[in-house]
Amino acid sequence: MELIFHLCMISLLLLSSSKSTTAADSSSSSSSSSSEIISRFQKYLQINTAQPSPQYQEAADFILSEANSLSLESQTLEFVPGKPLILLKWPGSDPSLPSILLNSHTDVVPAEHDKWAHPPFSAHVDPHGKIYARGSQDMKCVGMQYLEAIRRLKASGFKPTRTVYLSFVPDEEIGGHDGAEKFAESDIFKALNVGIVLDEGLASPSENYRAFYAERCPWWLIIKATGAPGHGSKLYDNSAMENILKSIESVRRFRASQFDLVKAGLKAEGEVVSVNMAFLKAGTPSPTGFVMNLQPSEAEAGFDIRIPPTADQESLEKRIAEEWAPSSRNMTFRLGQFKQKASVLDNSGRPVLTATDSTNPWWALLEEAVKKADGKLGKPEIFPASTDARYFRLQGLPAIGFSPMANTPILLHDHNEFLNKDEYLKGISIYESIIKSYSSYAEHARTATWRDEL
């Protein structure tokens, strides 16, 4: 009896040891998988695609290599030589259904290297799991999360009903004119039969992810003032400097009135017109600086204006002409027009925005998919700046800006841009849920009707 007892105890110990070993192996495998995922993200971040000289070819080669490892169809488009746009395809079982487009841009803004705690293209991971790199938030994270989500879906045996396209476009950080704009207007794009576009959003300092249904359009304005030059001691009426300062003060008052609405919580940042002065150009240069006893005959000021699609465009133009740069004060616009003026209306004359109510099934699917992945979605917002999504909305398509980064400070274009690796990995699960939901959606008739009525 005692022998039997000892044999049973030995068996239990061996079984326990076996389970511990299996658990350790499983944990090691999971850790290795996460490590590989982060490593791939780092490799993409380490490619210096900063404007004005992005290493586009190196980025393209990397993306194509990843696509090949996933057995995705791929093609390289160059609407402008030297600026490759990579288009990937995961074919669906029903090609008659409108497809899904997952868009991201490959370029990033420049970085002041000496202002960073770690080199901006090193993709350094600190002890807290923060991945420091230019593009970690804007928006190489999203491009790689698309790919990693598809990697997981393929590994699980999932097959999409709708075709899924991924576009990696150039030049978003300088306006997207040679990238997404040309792509959206091309016959190649029209042949894709896209039904919904996902593009970039913003990090969220709270636990709720942010989703954007529209964005403010850029109006880049240059105002010029002229006047008679004169001695620095003399008081003149309508001198160039006096008039430009009056304009700046008028703009400042308008800016303050808009900002007060945000501070009071009456409107979100994306719902007001923002105006910020980008430069002031005046003075007569001298070998040691500027001539101090000479009033200049010309002065210029540049303003970055962002206007939401819900704003009164005509009213703002009237304000500029009558208050900010009236001809009565010798004020003009550079070349008599805006340097860049994006439309707040699509090609059919409708506001450039995506519905967030029951008329848009894609929005409801997004909310459900995020919830299924244990995420929380905040109130729909207007993006405060500009993204490539506007070019797809101009075609009358629904486009949603979404970057799954919760509990993360907003650091796009800032020094020490980072994304925590745990948040990055969670974002992959979020996209896995979204892509699965979107590509499985089969209510073709409803989608087609909604698009016609947008």
Q: From CA 435, how far away is CA 247, in angstroms rounded?
A: 49
Asked if 177 contacts 388 with a C-beta cutoff of 8 angstroms, the reply is no
- Here the tokens at position 295 are 């009033």
What are the residue boundaries of the structural domains of the chain, listed by start?
Answer: 41-215+346-453, 219-307+310-341
Q: From CA 243, how far away is CA 22, in angstroms rounded?
A: 78
Helix (H) or strand (E) holding 282: strand 274-282
Query: Looking at the annotation, which residues are catalytic?
Result: 107, 172
* Residue 138 assigned as binding residue: yes
* Residue 300 assigned as binding residue: no
Question: 288 φ, ψ to 5°?
Answer: -110, 5
* Residue 124 assigned as binding residue: no
Q: What is the pTM of this model?
A: 0.83
Q: Is the bond into 52 cis (omega within 30 degrees of 0)?
A: yes
Regions of the chain short of the pLDDT cut 50? 1-32, 335-337, 445-454
Burial class of residue 58, CB neighbours in 10 A (0-12, 13-18, 19+): middle
Position 336 scores a pLDDT of 40
Q: From CA 137, how far away is CA 424, in angstroms rounded?
A: 10
Burial class of residue 195, CB neighbours in 10 A (0-12, 13-18, 19+): buried
3-state secondary structure of 59: helix
Asked if 286 contacts 276 with a C-beta cutoff of 8 angstroms, the reply is no
Reported in sequence order, the residue ranges of 25-121 that DSSP labels E, i.e. its strands, are 73-77, 85-90, 99-105
* Residue 413 assigned as binding residue: yes
Amino acid letter for position 301: A
Q: Is the bond into 277 cis (omega within 30 degrees of 0)?
A: no
- Kindly report the number of other CB atoms within 10 A of residue 400's CB atom: 22
* Residue 444 assigned as binding residue: no
Asked if 302 contacts 219 with a C-beta cutoff of 8 angstroms, the reply is no
CATH for 41-215+346-453 is: 3.40.630.10
Position 18 scores a pLDDT of 44
Q: From CA 87, how far away is CA 193, in angstroms rounded?
A: 14
Could you say which DSSP state residue 426 is in? H
Helix (H) or strand (E) holding 260: helix 240-263
Determine the number of helices (DSSP H) and then strands (DSSP E) in the chain: 11, 22
- Here the tokens at position 144 are 């790689």
Position 341 scores a pLDDT of 64
Report angle CA 392, 394, 396 to the nearest 5 degrees: 80
Give pairs for 42-46: CB < 8 Å, separation 24+: 42/123, 42/125, 42/131, 42/133, 43/123, 44/135, 44/140, 44/143, 44/144, 45/121, 45/123, 45/131, 45/133, 45/134, 45/135, 45/136, 45/140, 46/121, 46/122, 46/123, 46/133
Q: Do domains 41-215+346-453 and 219-307+310-341 have the same CATH topology?
A: no
Position 343 scores a pLDDT of 66
Asked if 277 contacts 301 with a C-beta cutoff of 8 angstroms, the reply is yes
Position 334 scores a pLDDT of 61
Q: Find, among 330, 301, 333, the residue nearest to 317 by Cα.
A: 333
Position 434 scores a pLDDT of 98
Rounded (10°) CA dihedral 308, 314, 320, 323: -120
Pick the CATH number of 219-307+310-341 from 3.65.10.10, 3.40.800.20, 3.30.70.360, 3.40.630.30: 3.30.70.360
